[in-house]
């Protein structure tokens, strides 16, 4: 049903992407800072986040999340609960489709590749404000993670980062993506600069059915707090 798909699209749009599209290089030879401190500082930096460009991809199937890839811009400005716009590649069963979306004033405006348009209400918990604000979904991922280990220094394009491995308990990840009902492995890429901004998140979700492969989610963030043209 398109309304259900629409709500999911907004959820992902608010979360912020898969694969930043740039190559990375790792350096594990230097002394590395404490992972818990890095992630804590990154969580604090998120309280100042008001706009972001994102790209999210899902390799595999998560119940209630028919996303293959979605990208766009999200901001807390432009309407009372923020705005978002971008493109989504969706799949539900054997039905694969693509849409351009605009989220504004609590409404989601969809345009399919055949030119058809639809307007549906956006669920409040999936608005950009519910996910980008200080108590939003990204912040909960960082503050709810456990068992940290800083693995390497890694370059994402021109941005020098630390890669931190951690665990996300089921209660934390399911509060952001309800279809995930298990603990997951997670990696955070935190900027080496004093700003400690979050640049990428990777998650591995255990298979629901035995002998199926794990599901991978990867979210890349860029243009943090840079000007965004609101829809």
List the domains of the chain with CATH numbers: 2-219 (2.50.20.20)
Q: What's phi and psi for 29, nearest 5 deg?
A: -85, -20
pTM: 0.82
Q: What is the pLDDT of residue 209?
A: 67
Q: Quote the tokens at residue 152.
A: 């390497």
Count Cβ atoms within 10 A of the Cβ of residue 15 and give its class: 0-12 exposed, 13-18 middle, 19 or more buried: buried
Residue 7 pLDDT more than 70? no
Q: What's phi and psi for 201, nearest 5 deg?
A: -135, 135
- What helix, strand, coil percent values describe the chain, rounded to 5? 20, 45, 35
Q: What is the pLDDT of residue 192?
A: 97
Reported as a pLDDT band with limits 50, 70 and 90, residue 5 is very low
Reported as a pLDDT band with limits 50, 70 and 90, residue 93 is low
Q: What is the pLDDT of residue 125?
A: 63
The number of residues in the chain equals 231
Mean pLDDT score across all residues of the chain: 82
Helix (H, G, I), strand (E, B) or coil at 67: strand
pLDDT: which is higher, 119 or 13: 119
What mean pLDDT is predicted for residues 167-176?
92
What mean pLDDT is predicted for residues 144-158?
96
Q: Is 197:191 a contact under the CB 8 Å cutoff?
A: yes
pLDDT: which is higher, 109 or 228: 109
Q: What is the pLDDT of residue 193?
A: 97
Residue 9 pLDDT more than 70? no
Residue 119 pLDDT more than 80? yes
Least confident of 113-117, 125-129, 145-149: 125-129
pLDDT: which is higher, 231 or 45: 45
Q: Is 221:56 a contact under the CB 8 Å cutoff?
A: no
Q: What angle do CA 125, 131, 135 make, to 5 degrees?
A: 100
Three state DSSP letters for 20-34: CCCCEEEECCCCCCC
Residue 2 pLDDT more than 70? no
Residue 114 pLDDT more than 60? yes
Residue 102 pLDDT more than 50? yes
Residue-wise pLDDT for 194-225, tens only, equals 999 999 999 998 877 666 778 888 999 999 99
């Amino acid at each position: 049903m398109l309304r259900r798909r629409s709500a999911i699209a907004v959820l992902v749009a608010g979360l912020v992407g898969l694969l930043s599209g740039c190559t990375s290089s790792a350096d594990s030879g230097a002394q590395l800072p404490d992972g818990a401190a890095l992630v804590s500082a990154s969580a604090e930096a998120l309280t100042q986040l008001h706009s972001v460009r994102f790209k999210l991809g899902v390799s595999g199937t998560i119940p209630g999340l028919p996303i293959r890839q979605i990208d766009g811009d999200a901001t807390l400005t432009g309407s009372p609960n923020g705005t978002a716009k971008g493109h989504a590649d969706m799949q539900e069963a054997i039905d694969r489709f693509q849409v351009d979306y605009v989220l504004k004033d609590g409404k989601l405006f969809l345009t399919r590749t055949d030119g058809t348009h639809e307007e549906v209400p956006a669920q409040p918990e999936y608005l950009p404000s519910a996910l980008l604000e200080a108590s939003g979904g990204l912040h909960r991922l960082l503050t709810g993670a456990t068992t940290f280990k800083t693995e390497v220094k890694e370059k994402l394009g021109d941005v020098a980062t630390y890669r931190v491995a951690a665990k996300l308990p089921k209660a934390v990840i399911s509060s952001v993506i309800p279809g995930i009902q298990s603990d997951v492995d997670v990696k955070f890429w935190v900027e080496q600069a004093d700003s400690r901004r979050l640049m990428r998140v990777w998650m591995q979700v255990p298979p629901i059915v035995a002998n199926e492969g794990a599901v991978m989610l990867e979210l890349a963030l860029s243009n943090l707090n840079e000007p965004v043209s609101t829809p």
